[in-house]
Amino acid sequence: MNSITTRYGKLSGIEFKTLFSNGKTDGCLVSRHNVLETPYGNLVPQYEAEDMGRRTTKPVYFYKDGSLKSIALQTQTPIATPVGLLPAELVTFHKSGTIRRVFPLDGRLSGFWSWQNEFALAETTTIDSPVGSISAKFINIQFYESGALKSITLWPGQVITVLTPVGSISVRKGIAFYESGEIRSFEPLKKTELSTPIGKMLAYDNEPNGIHGDINSVQLAPDGSVEALCTVDHAVQVSLPDQRCELFRPGVKNNVCGDEKKVSVPLKIRFDQGKVTFDDNLRLSFEINRYRFEVRKHDKKMDEPAYSCG
């Protein structure tokens, strides 16, 4: 079988490899035990799937200059990070060599292996963060190139309580930070009243988008003011100079299970550079000093989205 020499040591038992235009290896899959010597200790790339929950063997990836980009580990391995020792099955790196993301588990979701199966294997881990010590089951932890904590992603059902500039908040899904340590965004567990430049609103996303905690529905500026939110409880009327009014409110859609129930689509509101923007549409952007805004209660009662149709 083929072998290659990397800056971290020799890799043997290579079953396939891809090359950059400069001839250096982009990624390779190995089928035997190897050890790479890294600044974070000796790491063993995955060379076989020991159980049905693990992905089939995955390549080790490199940047064009030969530095390590990502590595799936044969067994869960403790990795020293800026927030403490983390268990890892998959680690990605910045080009400079610092850690980018740590995944405690790297499972293969399928009809035979659900996220619930994966969650059952997850262990509670404690990390140091800009808002203090956090203990939870994490899907992944992300870092800036400087080593500062960028975001954490929580498993479904996991909740942490965090002191934020807008109060003590119960957070689900995740929380993100500016590189300087201030909270950049979070996903509130329940409807939370927030003060905005146009009035108070209940912030809540009944269907938070995505599977990572780097982007969340409540977004804060570095000074702690509300920069964006989602709401299913409030509408905003904008009075135009010609005495016309426009009303922006949460939408409605069918339940994914195909029954007759309807669910709300959150209204997204952003406050930036003295403007209010609705649903991230720049054509629906209004200068705060030129228009009058009235926050109204949105009374339409809807069901929560269903994620299981059993």
Residues 114 and 28 both lie in one domain: yes
Closest among 207, 83, 70, 211 to 153, alpha carbons compared? 211
Tally of structural domains, the chain: 2
Token pair listed for 45 = 């790339």
Q: Averaged over 46-56, what is the pLDDT? A: 67
Same domain assignment for residues 210 and 118: no
Residue 106 shares a structural domain with residue 222: no
DSSP assignment string, 29-53? EE-S---EEETTEEE-B--S--STT
**Is the Cβ–Cβ distance between 28 and 37 less than 8 Å?**
no
- Does some domain include residue 26? yes
- Domain range enclosing 220: 157-305
Is there a domain that residue 146 lies in?
A: no
Comparing 294 with 243, the larger pLDDT belongs to 294
Say if CB 72 and CB 93 are below 8 A apart: no
End residue of a domain, out of 104, 123, 142: 123
Is 225 within the bounds of a domain?
yes
Whether residue 246 contacts residue 240, with contact meaning beta carbons closer than 8 Å, is answered with yes
Is the pTM higher than 0.75?
yes
**292 occurs within a structural domain:** yes
Shared domain check, 300 and 162? yes
244 and 297 in a common domain: yes
Same-domain check for residues 176 and 285: yes
pLDDT digits over 88-123, tens only?
999 999 999 999 999 999 865 455 556 667 767 779
